[in-house]
């Protein structure tokens, strides 16, 4: 019997043991939960991007299939908002969020998703930077002589240079710089020198410069033909000099410039047109000299005040049509030695008296128009011009000296109808002048000199003259009519004139008594 029951007992014990083990396994299995996730920080905040970091520390008992950052303009963003995935599984992660709007507040949360669902970390906020870049200032002078130096300096992103910025070479060694595009972050410089570059064709890259607190030199750049890169410059405290740029044909893009110390345009051999500076209201002066092939000088449409103007030794058949709004000028105006210059028009509103107005050796200058308001003038010299038409000085009342000499045109000096006093009046060597008219209201002259006028036949424009300190009328080979001086010699009996070497040389008595022509 004992041997017979033993296998059954063993089988029962084995089945009981298996049942007990299965029960233990079911009782120890853990349930799945949501992942544990945290939003760590928001860093590297820019104008349109931020960096957000997170950490998935526990998967909740099931694999994390996706984790990352959600964000939006409202609080508590979720998967229905904007999302940036950073992979799967647990661990730390970083998300670069881009295409944001400048100066805007955003809400950020980390997220993690497993088979149970999605959990979110704490909410963080950040405001993107304003669209204006942060100012990066370079203290001192900068010298950029090569293209690589331009690129390296530009890569830093400086917005302001307190000292001078030198781009280019020098009188001994020119530079091979071809582009200034890398300098586009610069907005303000102490002074700017763009000099001695053989291959630079334009100033692209300088469009963001608005303020130059010293001087601007653009000198000896052989290929430069375009200055439009400086179109946003508003202020130049010192001198603007554009000198010896062989390929420059026009100066017409200083659209924003409002203040400038002096302007000098000198020795640019292919320059044709100057038509700009229309926002400048005041400048110390404008020098335009030795530019070849010039066609036109215009612009300056809002200029009210300047101290001097010099237009000198320029070639080309050009005209000046500018300076129409200038009211104040206390220095001098020199228009000299422009052999092909044809006309000058401007200064219609000039009120204050400059030291001098001078038109000298402009052999093809046939027309001068302007100066309609000015009443007093110290010195007016018109010498070696081709004047046929003078529509100017019609309000002039008093002058220290007027010298109209060696002119080739047919002009007969009309236009001074309101002039009543001048200390010195010289009318000499005008080969085509036939009559002396235009001074009908002139009452008083210090020195009157009328000499060497080859075609002058009569003096008929001085009928109001009553007082003269000294008078000389000589070497006018066809002059026969002095009747315009009759009232003078009747009134001023002490005056002793010098009248000689004319076609007719009457005495003062003969003129006073009416024997004044032949």
The CATH code of the domain that includes 66 is 2.60.40.10
SS3 92: strand
Decide if 306 is inside a domain. Answer: no
Q: So what's the pLDDT on residue 129?
A: 86
Decide if 20 is inside a domain. Answer: no
DSSP label of 267: -
Decide if 209 is inside a domain. Answer: no
65 — phi, psi (to 5°)?
A: -80, -25
Q: So what's the pLDDT on residue 18?
A: 45
What is the tally of structural domains in the chain?
Answer: 2
Take residue 142 and report the two structure tokens written for it.
């900068």
pLDDT, one tens digit per residue, over 264-291 is 999 999 999 999 999 999 999 999 999 9
The answer to whether the beta carbons of residues 338 and 362 sit under 8 Å apart is: yes
pLDDT above 60 (res 498)? yes
The answer to whether the beta carbons of residues 457 and 433 sit under 8 Å apart is: no
Structural domain ending residue among the three candidates 70, 96, 127: 127
Q: So what's the pLDDT on residue 342?
A: 96
pLDDT above 60 (res 93)? yes
Number of Cβ atoms within 10 Å of the Cβ of 26: 7
Decide if 471 is inside a domain. Answer: yes
Side-chain-facing half-sphere of 35: CA atoms under 13 Å: 30
Residue 46 pLDDT level (bands cut at 50, 70, 90): confident
The answer to whether the beta carbons of residues 384 and 407 sit under 8 Å apart is: yes
Take residue 386 and report the two structure tokens written for it.
């081709």
Nearest to 124 by CA among 41, 48, 46, 44: 41
Decide if 238 is inside a domain. Answer: no
pLDDT above 60 (res 154)? yes
Q: Which residue has the tokens 């299939």?
A: 65
pLDDT above 50 (res 12)? no
Number of Cβ atoms within 10 Å of the Cβ of 70: 26
Residue 493 pLDDT level (bands cut at 50, 70, 90): confident
* Alpha carbons 439 and 423: distance in angstroms, whole number: 14
- Sheet containing 296-299: which strands, arranged edge to edge? 250-251, 273-276, 296-299, 319-321, 343-346, 367-370, 389-392
* Alpha carbons 333 and 309: distance in angstroms, whole number: 5
Percent of the chain with pLDDT over 70: 94
Q: So what's the pLDDT on residue 26?
A: 46
Structural domain ending residue among the three candidates 71, 96, 127: 127
181 — phi, psi (to 5°)?
A: -60, -30
pLDDT above 90 (res 27)? no
CB-based burial of residue 395 (10 Å sphere; 0-12 exposed, 13-18 middle, 19+ buried)? middle
pLDDT, one tens digit per residue, over 356-394 is 999 999 999 999 999 999 999 999 999 999 999 889 999
Residue 132 contacts by C-beta under 8 Å, 6 or more apart in sequence?
none
pLDDT above 80 (res 17)? no
List the domain range (segments joined by +) for residue 71.
36-127
The answer to whether the beta carbons of residues 72 and 84 sit under 8 Å apart is: no
Q: In the chain, count of helices (H) and strands (E)?
A: 4, 35
Residue 461 pLDDT level (bands cut at 50, 70, 90): confident
Percent of the chain with pLDDT over 90: 85
Structural domain ending residue among the three candidates 83, 101, 127: 127
202 — phi, psi (to 5°)?
A: -145, 175
pLDDT, one tens digit per residue, over 249-260 is 999 999 999 999
CB-based burial of residue 455 (10 Å sphere; 0-12 exposed, 13-18 middle, 19+ buried)? middle
Decide if 106 is inside a domain. Answer: yes
Q: So what's the pLDDT on residue 3?
A: 43
* Alpha carbons 484 and 488: distance in angstroms, whole number: 8
pLDDT, one tens digit per residue, over 344-353 is 999 999 999 8
Mean pLDDT of the chain: 92
pLDDT above 50 (res 30)? yes
Side-chain-facing half-sphere of 111: CA atoms under 13 Å: 22
Four-residue CA torsion sign, 295, 349, 286, 387: positive
Strand partners, 226: 202
* Alpha carbons 465 and 444: distance in angstroms, whole number: 6
Q: Which residue has the tokens 């709007």?
A: 101
Nearest to 216 by CA among 200, 201, 233: 233
pLDDT above 90 (res 15)? no
79 — phi, psi (to 5°)?
A: -65, -15
Decide if 329 is inside a domain. Answer: no
Longest dimension (CA), the chain: 189
Decide if 61 is inside a domain. Answer: yes
Number of Cβ atoms within 10 Å of the Cβ of 1: 4
């Amino acid at each position: 019997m004992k041997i017979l029951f033993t296998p059954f007992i063993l089988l029962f014990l084995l089945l009981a043991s298996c049942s007990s083990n299965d029960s233990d396994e079911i009782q120890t299995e853990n349930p799945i939960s949501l992942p544990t996730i945290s939003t760590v920080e928001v860093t590297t905040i820019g104008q349109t991007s931020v960096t957000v970091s997170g950490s998935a520390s526990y998967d909740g008992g099931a694999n994390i299939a996706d984790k990352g950052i959600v964000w939006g303009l409202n609080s508590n963003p979720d998967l229905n908002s904007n999302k940036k995935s950073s992979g799967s599984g647990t661990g730390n992660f970083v998300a670069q969020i881009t295409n944001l709007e400048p100066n805007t507040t955003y809400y950020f949360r980390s997220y993690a998703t497993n088979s149970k669902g999605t959990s979110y970390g704490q909410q963080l906020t950040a405001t993107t930077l304003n669209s204006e870049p942060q100012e990066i200032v370079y203290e001192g002078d900068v010298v950029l002589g090569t293209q690589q130096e331009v690129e390296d300096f530009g890569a830093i992103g400086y917005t302001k240079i307190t000292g001078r910025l030198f781009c280019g070479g020098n009188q001994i060694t020119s530079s091979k710089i071809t582009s200034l595009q890398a300098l586009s972050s610069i907005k303000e410089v102490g002074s700017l020198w763009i000099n001695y570059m053989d291959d630079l064709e334009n100033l692209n890259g300088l469009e963001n410069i608005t303020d130059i607190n010293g001087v601007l030199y653009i000198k000896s750049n052989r290929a430069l033909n375009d200055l439009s890169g400086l179109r946003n410059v508003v202020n130049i405290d010192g001198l603007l000099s554009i000198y010896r740029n062989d390929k420059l044909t026009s100066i017409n893009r200083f659209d924003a410039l409002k203040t400038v110390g002096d302007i000098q345009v000198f020795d640019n051999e292919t320059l044709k047109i100057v038509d700009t500076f229309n926002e400048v209201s005041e400048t110390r002066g404008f020098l335009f000299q030795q530019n070849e092939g010039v066609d036109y000088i215009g612009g300056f449409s809002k200029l009210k005040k300047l101290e001097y103007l010099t237009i000198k030794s320029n070639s080309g058949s050009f005209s000046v049509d500018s300076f129409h709004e200038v009211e104040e000028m206390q220095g001098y105006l020199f228009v000299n030695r422009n052999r092909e210059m044809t006309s000058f028009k401007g200064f219609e509103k000039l009120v204050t008296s400059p030291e001098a107005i001078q038109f000298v050796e402009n052999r093809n200058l046939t027309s001068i128009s302007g100066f309609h308001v000015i009443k007093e003038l110290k010195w007016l010299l018109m010498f070696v011009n081709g004047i046929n038409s003078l529509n100017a000085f019609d309000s002039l009342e008093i002058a220290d000296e007027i010298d109209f000499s060696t002119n080739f045109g047919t002009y007969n000096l009309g236009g001074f109808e309101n002039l009543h006093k001048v200390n010195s009046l010289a009318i000499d060597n005008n080969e085509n002048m036939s009559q002396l008219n235009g001074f009908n209201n002139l009452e008083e002259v210090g020195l009157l000199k009328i000499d060497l006028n080859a075609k002058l036949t009569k003096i008929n424009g001085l009928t109001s003259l009553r007082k003269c300190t000294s008078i000389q009328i000589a070497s006018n080979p066809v002059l026969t009519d002095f009747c315009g001086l009759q009232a003078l010699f009747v009134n001023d009996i002490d005056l002793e004139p010098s009248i000689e070497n004319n076609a007719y040389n009457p005495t003062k008595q003969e003129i006073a008594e009416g024997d004044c022509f032949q």
